[in-house]
């Protein structure tokens, strides 16, 4: 019976943890600039402050947990779409943030390690999509696709922080992220596919 009891206990913990994160998101949407205390989160989630601390950690860890939730959702979206196209990975990433602007902006501002927000996902999906493009002959065989993916992810993080600071709007956020991807793909294009991969840049008038 112990494995069953242990499994149920973990399920209960997961449900309470999800309630805590849902409560945090609700409070942020209601009062975007207010201080979100552990006590307020606990009251909304109908748990004790000690439970918030035990399942999430100190208040600073809330932002890290929210970021992990964003990446979990991104992975679900990409898996549902079967996304193997680098452009689809970048587009889905941007839309994930702009779909919930209040929570995502506050999370990025408050989380000290927000520069790492895309390290788990979409970086993994980008690496696979880039490697697949090389396998299919779209990119040169000598290209380090992991390095390409890292360059694109870094550019996306930069665009994300500009969007969080309200320096660019939703459309510019997406445009800058896709531009970084298009530059990388064009630079790494195999000769037979160079014109095709240069087309988005030519359309923008950048080449």
pLDDT 10s digits, 10-44: 899 989 999 999 999 999 999 888 888 899 999 99
Rounded to 10 degrees, the C-alpha dihedral 191/197/198/202 comes to 150
Is the pLDDT assigned to residue 1 strictly greater than 50? no
Q: Which residue has the tokens 């530059």?
A: 183
What's the predicted TM-score (pTM) here?
Answer: 0.84
Pick from 18, 38, 57: which residue ends a domain?
57
Give the closest residue to 105 by CA, choosing from 38, 45, 20, 29.
Answer: 29
- 82 is written with which tokens? 């079967």
Residues 6+ apart with CB under 8 A from 120: 68, 71
Q: What is the DSSP letter of 47?
A: S
Pick from 57, 74, 98: which residue ends a domain?
57
Total domain count, the chain: 2
Is the pLDDT assigned to residue 197 strictly greater than 70? yes
Angle between helices 123-135 and 145-164 in degrees, nearest 10? 140
The CB density around residue 84, as the number of other CB atoms within 10 Å, is 14
Phi and psi dihedrals of 59, rounded to 5?
-55, -35
Is the pLDDT assigned to residue 4 strictly greater than 50? yes
Q: Looking at residue 79, what is its pLDDT? A: 83
Q: Looking at residue 188, what is its pLDDT? A: 97
Same domain, 195 and 97: yes
Q: Which domain holds residue 34?
A: 1-57
> Tell me, what CATH number does 36's domain have?
1.10.10
Q: Looking at residue 183, what is its pLDDT? A: 96
What Å distances lie between residue 198 and 8, 139, 207, CA to CA?
A: 54, 12, 8
45-84 pLDDT, tens per residue?
999 999 999 999 887 889 889 988 888 888 888 888 775 7
Q: What is the arithmetic mean of pLDDT over 81-89?
A: 81
Residues 6+ apart with CB under 8 A from 191: none
Same domain, 4 and 105: no
Same domain, 106 and 193: yes
Q: What is the arithmetic mean of pLDDT over 127-142?
A: 94
Same domain, 49 and 108: no
150-189 pLDDT, tens per residue?
999 999 999 999 999 999 999 999 999 999 999 999 999 9
Same domain, 26 and 109: no
- How much is the mean pLDDT over the chain? 89
Where does the pLDDT of residue 190 fall: very low under 50, low under 70, confident under 90, or very high at 90 and above? Answer: very high
Whole-angstrom Cα distance, residue 80 to residue 71?
14
Where does the pLDDT of residue 206 fall: very low under 50, low under 70, confident under 90, or very high at 90 and above? Answer: low
């Amino acid at each position: 019976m112990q494995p069953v009891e242990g499994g149920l206990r973990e399920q209960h913990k997961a449900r309470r943890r999800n309630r805590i994160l849902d409560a945090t998101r609700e409070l942020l949407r209601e009062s975007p600039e207010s201080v979100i205390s552990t006590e307020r989160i606990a009251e909304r989630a109908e748990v004790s402050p000690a439970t918030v601390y035990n399942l999430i950690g100190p208040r600073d860890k809330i932002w890290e947990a929210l970021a992990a939730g964003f990446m979990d959702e991104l992975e679900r979206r990409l898996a549902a779409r079967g996304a193997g196209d680098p452009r689809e990975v970048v587009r889905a990433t941007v839309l994930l943030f702009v779909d919930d602007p209040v929570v995502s902006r506050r999370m990025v501002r408050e989380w000290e390690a927000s520069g790492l927000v895309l390290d788990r996902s979409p970086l993994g999906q980008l690496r696979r999509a880039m490697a697949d493009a090389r396998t299919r002959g779209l990119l040169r065989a000598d290209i380090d696709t992991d390095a390409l993916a890292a360059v694109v992810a870094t550019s996306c993080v930069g665009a994300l922080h500009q969007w969080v600071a309200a320096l660019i709007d939703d459309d510019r956020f997406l445009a800058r992220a896709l531009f970084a991807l298009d530059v990388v793909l064009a630079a790494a294009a195999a000769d037979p596919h160079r014109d095709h991969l240069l087309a988005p840049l030519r359309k923008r008038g950048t080449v």
